[in-house]
Amino acid sequence: MCPELHIDVSAGVAVLTLNRPARQNAFTPALAAELSAALQRCDTEDTIRAVVLTGTPPAFCAGADLSAQVGAVSATIDPPPWRVRKPMIAAVNGHAVGIGLTLALQCDLRYMARDAIYALNQVRRGVLADGCAHWLLPRLIGMANAADIMLTGRAFDGEEAQALGLANSCLPADEVLPIALAVAQDIATGPAPLPVALSKRLLWAGLEMSQEVVGRLETELNQDVAESIDCGEAMTAFRDRRQPHWSGSVSTEWPAWDAAGKREPPRGSGITSEQEE
């Protein structure tokens, strides 16, 4: 049997492809398990610097596959894309509905097909959107826009997704994956891995923090980064007028305050673990 998820790792970029084209890549418990395992690998494997999530054409993910009548299909994956320490790029190359759109929302960047159909339509199926959609969507596009999409369950296209701020760009469907791969390759070869990983984590965590707390965390984390292998290489490369050669390790140089993906208070921050959750 073919795996429900294709995994390709090359030149620092992992491409995870939902692979159920006959069902428009509809989500199943087996696919959730495969995706969870792949994301765990992406989080811990230092050779992976960026991750692209896409679907085998013609769709990205048409939602939960309820055809087998095996019960509710949850959008829960562990770790979710926002907890993976590498940038996650959704190449939404076709329709993304329900769980399919939620998966894209959980990523850091989204490049979306212009003519595809997008919706969080679970209310039209007698249930609620899950996968933290109620937490993600208002933070991405504001409460009024989120309420419009979630309470009506209506569909919209890539042009509207970009206008709302859901899409970094909307493109013809066949251009979505190449653009996402180009961005991923730029991340994999340009910036230092540890600052990128920490910046991603702080962007997501900062949504729940005050300006003062975020500022203190930036100072704390920069103190840690200053002791990293790549910070020294950056200074040497600048003096030598050459491109840096990054060799640092996200997995081994990750600060103790966020070891293993469960945050602990950074030194001197005055934050408790309960406040951070």
pLDDT in tens, 218-243: 999 999 999 999 999 999 999 999 99
* Whether pLDDT at 199 is above 90: yes
What span, in angstroms and rounded, lies between the C-alpha atoms of 193 and 215?
Answer: 21
Note whether 120 and 148 are same-domain residues. yes
Q: Is the peptide bond before 79 cis (omega within 30 degrees of 0)?
A: yes
Q: pLDDT digit string (tens) for 138-195?
A: 999 999 999 999 999 999 999 999 999 999 999 999 999 999 999 999 999 999 999 9
Among 188, 223, 248, the domain-final residue is: 188
What span, in angstroms and rounded, lies between the C-alpha atoms of 42 and 16?
Answer: 10
Cα distances (Å, whole numbers) of residue 17 to 62, 119, 185: 14, 20, 17
Among 167, 188, 209, the domain-final residue is: 188
DSSP conformation letters of the chain: ---SEEEEEETTEEEEEE--GGGTT-B-HHHHHHHHHHHHHHHH-TT--EEEEEESTT-SB-SB--TT--S------SS-GGGSSS-EEEEE-S-EETHHHHHHHTSSEEEEETT--EE--GGGGTS---TTHHHHHHHHH-HHHHHHHHHH---B-HHHHHHHTS-SEEE-HHHHHHHHHHHHHHHHHSS-HHHHHHHHHHHHHGGGS-HHHHHHHHHHHHHHHTTSHHHHHHHHHHHHTS-------HHHH--GGGGGG---PPTT----HHHH-
Q: Print the domain residue range for 126.
A: 5-188
Q: pLDDT digit string (tens) for 29-50?
A: 999 999 999 999 999 999 999 9
Is residue 92 within 8 Å of residue 171, measured between CB atoms? no
Note whether 263 and 152 are same-domain residues. no
Note whether 28 and 155 are same-domain residues. yes
Note whether 90 and 70 are same-domain residues. yes
Q: How many CB atoms lie within 10 A of CB 62?
A: 23
| pLDDT, mean of residues 53-71 | 85
What span, in angstroms and rounded, lies between the C-alpha atoms of 16 and 203?
Answer: 23
Output the pLDDT for position 74.
Answer: 61
Q: Are strands 169-171 and 109-113 parallel, antiparallel or unpaired?
A: parallel
Note whether 31 and 152 are same-domain residues. yes
Q: Are strands 13-18 and 50-55 parallel, antiparallel or unpaired?
A: parallel
Note whether 151 and 75 are same-domain residues. yes
What CATH number has the domain bearing residue 62? 3.90.226.10
What CATH number has the domain bearing residue 223? 1.10.12.10
Note whether 201 and 173 are same-domain residues. no
Q: pLDDT digit string (tens) for 250-273?
A: 999 999 764 333 445 443 333 343
What span, in angstroms and rounded, lies between the C-alpha atoms of 111 and 138?
Answer: 19
Note whether 60 and 46 are same-domain residues. yes
Note whether 161 and 209 are same-domain residues. no
Q: Number of structural domains, the chain? A: 2
Note whether 88 and 208 are same-domain residues. no
Q: State the Rg of the chain over Cα.
A: 19
Note whether 236 and 130 are same-domain residues. no
Note whether 96 and 223 are same-domain residues. no
Among 165, 188, 211, the domain-final residue is: 188
Q: pLDDT digit string (tens) for 65-110?
A: 987 554 455 668 999 999 999 999 999 999 999 999 999 999 999 9
